[in-house]
Chain A
């Protein structure tokens, strides 16, 4: 009963967090800033998916969330390695 009132609030909060991350992604003075903003955006999108799963009562969204977590981590590592070494495949 409380949950039905809390879920829209939480969705609005995570959307605001995504907007803040987008601002940093567009503005970010250095390259690591943009990578960090992208990583945070993937994590916040994952939370939005979990909230959608709670709202609908379906568990199928968790596999999508797991994939987003995996791809976000791999993307961050690959971009950081590219800055560090200037090459991805060594």
Chain B
């Protein structure tokens, strides 16, 4: 299907896909490499979500250019951007319950 896209659409879609792949790789690398859970949770929740958003927007562009725009990609993007903070919040609460000492130190009292 990619053969019949105009040049500029092709370029923009390809750039968005490469950007999204890079973001997802960096996020997964952070999930695998960082030292504590509270550091590791940054990679998937922010970086990978941004990468998936790039890929979904690229797909929506490619299909819209052929006159077959459906709301599915934008719906998935909206859903992911809404739900990722919620699940990250619940995961951090669970981690703090399992190991309360891993949290940040309490603020100094005066």
Q: Which residues of A contact B (CB under 8 A)?
A: 1-4, 6-7, 9-10, 13-14, 16-18, 20-21, 23-24, 30-33, 35-37, 39-40, 43-44, 46-47, 50-51, 53-57, 59, 62-63, 65-66, 69-70, 73, 76-77, 80-81, 83-84
Do B31 and A21 touch (CB < 8 A)? Answer: yes
Task: Tell whether A44 pairs with B80 under 8 Å between CB atoms, given A2-B10, A4-B2.
Answer: no
Do A47 and B52 touch (CB < 8 A)? Answer: yes
**Any A CB within 8 A of the CB of B101:** no
Categorize the interface residue count of chain B.
Answer: 35 or more
Do A40 and B18 touch (CB < 8 A)? Answer: no
Closest to A1 in B: B10
> Which residues of chain B are within 8 angstroms of A16 by Cβ–Cβ distance?
25, 28
> Which residues of chain A are within 8 angstroms of B73 by Cβ–Cβ distance?
50, 62
Task: Tell whether A1 pairs with B18 under 8 Å between CB atoms, given A21-B31, A50-B59, A59-B72.
Answer: no
Closest to B77 in A: A69
| Cβ distance B15 to chain A, nearest Cβ, rounded Å | 9
